[in-house]
Amino acid sequence: MALLEINNLHASIEDKEILKGLSLSVNAGEVHAIMGPNGSGKSTLSYVLSGKPDYEVTEGTATLDGVDLLELEADARAAAGLFLAFQYPVEVPGVATMTFLRTALNAQRRARGEDELSTPDFLRIVKEKAAHLGISQDMLRRGVNVGFSGGEKKRNEILQMALLEPKVAILDETDSGLDIDALKIVSEGVNSLRSKDRAMVVITHYQRLLDHIVPDFVHVMHKGRIVRSGGKELALELEASGYAAYGQDAA
Ligand code: ADP
Ligand code: MG
Ligand code: MG
């Protein structure tokens, strides 16, 4: 069984079916891109997998490393190794980034039945990972996302991912609103977290992110299903043709 195995997934919100029989297998070590026109259900897929409330799964299965994700609460899914990047784009003025990261990491450890990290251990780990990603100590002291540039917000999320060490990371529209320099920073961070034990699912409407995060497989999502799969060349083909074949003009 693949690390992330999704079979015939159907999901609704407010009685409207959005996912209509989606299947996807992602092995450890692989990076998959999901592309598709606006409204095809890409974000819905990431929300359903991460356990966001209000979504109702009506049919199908989703497992991570053999664990039934759909049976678990959102925090237990995170503890099982699922990470949805960029799920906290909000500003949290009163909370220093460092504190926020520590809370996230300790919540994961508690859910796994592990002890919380001591302050010195946490500081050592966060400083090491931050340095590796080129994140300044100053940024760690500031309120979460307060006054952060687009690139800094994304870097903060990558640091969160580096700390939580997920088995499967889903990045939904990581590239939206980033200038080319920020895009490179984010891509380098994501690439540095690629590993043979980890899989990544990169959701994007545009091809340009995939120049920097080169996927092993590309899938086209349309009307709640994967309708086409191929190698990285499929992204280039979509860039050229747009989504006209799927009822939407090129962006
Ligand atoms: P994508 O990320 O591919 O652009 P989404 O998953 O955001 O697509 O949306 C898929 C469809 O679900 C769209 O038709 C959208 O209007 C609908 N949708 C999303 N959220 C809600 C909601 N809270 N209530 C009703 N419909 C929704
Ligand atoms: Mg959209
Ligand atoms: Mg979306």
pLDDT per position as a tens digit, 58-72: 999 999 999 999 999
Decide: 53 in ligand 1 pocket, CB within 6 A.
no
Decide: 174 in ligand 1 pocket, CB within 6 A.
no
Least distant ligand from the CA of 36: 1
Helix (H, G, I), strand (E, B) or coil at 140: helix
pLDDT per position as a tens digit, 72-107: 998 899 899 999 876 445 666 778 888 889 988 998
Distance (angstroms) between ligand 1 centre and the Cα of 206 equals 18
> Could you report the predicted ipTM of this complex, rounded to two decimals?
0.95
Helix (H, G, I), strand (E, B) or coil at 204: coil
Query: Who's near 44: CB < 8 A, 6+ residues apart?
Result: 11, 13, 18, 19, 55, 224
Nearest protein Cα to ligand 1, atom 27? 13
pLDDT per position as a tens digit, 149-195: 777 788 888 898 999 999 999 998 766 667 787 788 778 888 999 99
